C-alpha cells in the first residue's frame, strides 16, 4: 500500500582489489614511522610485515560507512578477519615490489591516483567540516530559507492515518476484514491489531501508521475515505482498493495552511547542509582549476591514438 544488526562479512581476499592498491599498501608500511610505533600490533608476519590498529581504522575509514564502523571495529571476529585480509594484501604488495612491478609506468601512475584519492578525500572531509561545524550559521540560513519561500510550505490539508490491510478482494478477505472491524468497534486496540493482523509489511510494524499525507498521494478510494474522517480516533468502514480491504483510523488532521518551521526544520536543514557542502566543494575545485592550463592539442592527439 505504501510504498540483530550484524557486522559485515569480509572474505580473506577481495578479488577486485587493484594491484595499484596492493603496491600502495606496501609503500606506506615504511612511511608509518612513529605513528606505527604507538599503535597496537594486531598481526605479525614474515619480512617484518605487520598489521596494526591504525591500519584497521584506516581500512574502516576507506570502506565502511560511518554509521557501521563502531559495529565492525568492536567485533573481535571481524577485526581478526580484516587484519588477516590486510596482511595478505600487504604481503602480495611486497612480493609485487620484489618482482619490480612498481617500476611499470602504468602501475606507478595508478599508485599516484590511489594516493591522490585518499588524500583528496581527507581534504574534502576538512572542507565539509568547515561547513557542518558552524551550527549557528546553518540554523540561521535554514530559518531564512523558510521565511523567504512561504509558498513552498503551503499544503491543501493533510491527514495522519493508520490502517489495517487484508490483502485480496475475495469473499474470504472481506469476511476477515469485517471481523477485525467488529473487534475494533468493540474496543480492541488498533495498534496491536495492526501489528498482528495487517498484511501491509511497510506499516504493520508501526501499528499501521502511514504518517502525514496530502491529497494525490494515495489511491483514490483510500484517499477519499481518509479525508472523510473528521475526529482523531474515528474509524472508517471497509475500504476496498486494488490492494484488498482496508480499515482506517484517523490519528490527526490538519486543515489547509502552511507547515510550521518546526514541522519542516529537519528536512529543510538537510537541504541547506547539502547545498552548502556542494557549494564549498565546487568553490574549492574552481579555485584549483584557475591554475590549470589544459593542452587541447595534446588531448586531441591522445584521444585519437586510443581509437580502435
pLDDT tens-digit profile of 245-263? Answer: 999 999 999 888 888 899 8
pLDDT value, residue 113: 94
pLDDT value, residue 37: 56
Q: What is the per-residue pLDDT across 111-162, written as a single tens digit (0 to 9) for each?
A: 999 999 999 999 999 999 998 888 899 999 999 999 998 889 988 889 999 9
Secondary structure letter of residue 166 according to DSSP: E
Q: Can you tell me the distance from the alpha carbon of 93 to that of 153, in angstroms, rounded to the nearest whole number?
A: 57
Q: What is the per-residue pLDDT across 273-283, written as a single tens digit (0 to 9) for each?
A: 999 999 999 99
Q: What is the per-residue pLDDT across 224-243, written as a single tens digit (0 to 9) for each?
A: 999 999 999 999 999 999 99
Burial of 220 (0-12, 13-18, 19+ CB in 10 A): exposed
Decide: helix, strand or coil at residue 185: helix
The stretch 182-193 carries a mean pLDDT of: 96
The model's pTM is 0.56
- The beta strands (E) that lie in 201-261 are given as 209-213, 239-241, 244-254, 257-258
Q: Can you tell me the distance from the alpha carbon of 208 to that of 187, in angstroms, rounded to the nearest whole number?
A: 17
Q: What is the per-residue pLDDT across 67-104, written as a single tens digit (0 to 9) for each?
A: 999 999 999 999 999 999 999 999 999 999 999 998 99
Q: Give Cα separations from 41 to 30, 33, 52, 83, 87 (angstroms).
A: 15, 14, 4, 10, 12
The residues pairing with 166 across neighbouring beta strands, listed in sequence order, are 245
Q: What is the mean pLDDT of the chain?
A: 87
Confidence band, pLDDT 50/70/90 cuts, at residue 166 = very high
Pair 47, 94: CB distance under 8 Å: yes
For 247, list phi and psi in degrees, rounded to 5: -120, 125
Question: Is residue 21 over pLDDT 90?
Answer: no
Q: Can you tell me the distance from the alpha carbon of 137 to that of 103, in angstroms, rounded to the nearest whole number?
A: 50
Q: ∠ CA 203-270-142 to the nearest 5 degrees?
A: 125
Question: Is residue 7 over pLDDT 80?
Answer: no
Instruction: Give me the domains of the chain, ranges plus CATH numbers.
Output: 19-132 (no CATH), 155-258 (3.10.50.40)
Amino acid at each position: 500500500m505504501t510504498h540483530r544488526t550484524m557486522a559485515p562479512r569480509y572474505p580473506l581476499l577481495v578479488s577486485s582489489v587493484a594491484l595499484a592498491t596492493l603496491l600502495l599498501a606496501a609503500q606506506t608500511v615504511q612511511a608509518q614511522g612513529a605513528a606505527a610505533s604507538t599503535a597496537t600490533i594486531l598481526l605479525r608476519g614474515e619480512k617484518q610485515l605487520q598489521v596494526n590498529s591504525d591500519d584497521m581504522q584506516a581500512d574502516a575509514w576507506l570502506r565502511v560507512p560511518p554509521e557501521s564502523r563502531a559495529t565492525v571495529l568492536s567485533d573481535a571476529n571481524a577485526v581478526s578477519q580484516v587484519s588477516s585480509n590486510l596482511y595478505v594484501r600487504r604481503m602480495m604488495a611486497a612480493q609485487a615490489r620484489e618482482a619490480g612491478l612498481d617500476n611499470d609506468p602504468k602501475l606507478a601512475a595508478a599508485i599516484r591516483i590511489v594516493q591522490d584519492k585518499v588524500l583528496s578525500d581527507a581534504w574534502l572531509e576538512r572542507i565539509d567540516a568547515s561547513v557542518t561545524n558552524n551550527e549557528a550559521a546553518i540554523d540561521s540560513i535554514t530559518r531564512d530559507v523558510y521565511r523567504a519561500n512561504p509558498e513552498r510550505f503551503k499544503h491543501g490539508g493533510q491527514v495522519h492515518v493508520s490502517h489495517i490491510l487484508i490483502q485480496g478482494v475475495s469473499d474470504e478477505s472481506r469476511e476477515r476484514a469485517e471481523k477485525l472491524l467488529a473487534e475494533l468497534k468493540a474496543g480492541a486496540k488498533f495498534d496491536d491489531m495492526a501489528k498482528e493482523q495487517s498484511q501491509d509489511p511497510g506499516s504493520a510494524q508501526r501499528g499501521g501508521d502511514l504518517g502525514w499525507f496530502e491529497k494525490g498521494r494515495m489511491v483514490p478510494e483510500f484517499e477519499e475515505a481518509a479525508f472523510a474522517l473528521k475526529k482523531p480516533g474515528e474509524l472508517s468502514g471497509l475500504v476496498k482498493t486494488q490492494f484488498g480491504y482496508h480499515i482506517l483510523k484517523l490519528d490527526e488532521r490538519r486543515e489547509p495552511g502552511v507547515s510550521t518551521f518546526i514541522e519542516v526544520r529537519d528536512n529543510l536543514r538537510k537541504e541547506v547542509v547539502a547545498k552548502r557542502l556542494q557549494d564549498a566543494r565546487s568553490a574549492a575545485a574552481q579555485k584549483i582549476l584557475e591554475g590549470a592550463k589544459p593542452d587541447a592539442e595534446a588531448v586531441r592527439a591522445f584521444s585519437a591514438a586510443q581509437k580502435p
